[in-house]
Amino acid sequence: MQDALALRLAELGIDTARLAARGLQPYAEAAAEQLVLADINDAGREFHLLPGAAAAWQAMRDAAAADGVTLFLASAFRSVARQHEIVAAKLARGQSLDTILAVSAAPGYSEHHTGCAIDIGTPGSPVLEEHFETTPAFAWLQQHAANHGFAMSFGRNNASGYLYEPWHWCWQDPAAQPTSKGLTA
């Protein structure tokens, strides 16, 4: 796996030292058989997540709806191969690698590979744009997402060097979280 990832990165001109300098670490890709259907959008696009993340997303989406807030998925699980395609397409359009890596993770380095990360949208707001932070949906997430195990990954001036992404949230498996005594449950 590491050799295949190194080849993908080299093909895109991405040096792992550059990623390490930003403190980035690779994420293991969830196996297809681990993923479940988390949601389907109005266009019929399917979104997959790990079972716990899918259940948490559904509960959070429904809780928001009960409060009059509409949330929808713009993205969920993304394979290393798909991430490679995204970065390669941006390079082909003439974007610089620095510009790309400020907004897109390198293949193998995206939280989306884990099956726990989601990009959230709401009607009336451009998808995957900073404007999302001005919506009632974002205000609702700030107040309630943690109750469902979700945390915003890339706040302003985040240590990872990514641009601010108010739409990107990652589910933290409570079974993997340390207890108050510093032990895992």
Closest CA to 11 of 83, 99, 113: 83
How many angstroms separate the CA atoms of 43 and 182, rounded? 44
Entry pTM? 0.91
> What is residue 185's predicted lDDT score, i.e. its pLDDT?
39
- CA Rg value for the chain: 17
Bridge-partner residues for 118, per DSSP? Answer: 169
pLDDT in tens, 147-164: 999 999 999 999 999 999
> What is residue 4's predicted lDDT score, i.e. its pLDDT?
87
Q: Are 72 and 122 in contact (CB under 8 A)?
A: yes
The one-letter code for the residue type at 88 is A
Q: Are 113 and 76 in contact (CB under 8 A)?
A: no
Q: Are 170 and 116 in contact (CB under 8 A)?
A: yes
pLDDT in tens, 106-133: 999 999 999 999 999 999 999 999 999 9
| Residue 75 backbone dihedrals phi, psi, to 5 degrees | -160, 155
Contacts of 158 (CB under 8 A, 6+ apart): 164
Q: Are 104 and 87 in contact (CB under 8 A)?
A: yes
Structural domains of the chain, with CATH: 1-30+80-114 (no CATH), 34-77+115-176 (3.30.1380.10)
Per the structure block, which two tokens stand in for 175? 């079974």
Bridge-partner residues for 88, per DSSP? Answer: none
pLDDT in tens, 48-76: 999 999 999 999 999 999 999 999 999 99
How many angstroms separate the CA atoms of 58 and 116, rounded? 13
How many angstroms separate the CA atoms of 117 and 139, rounded? 19
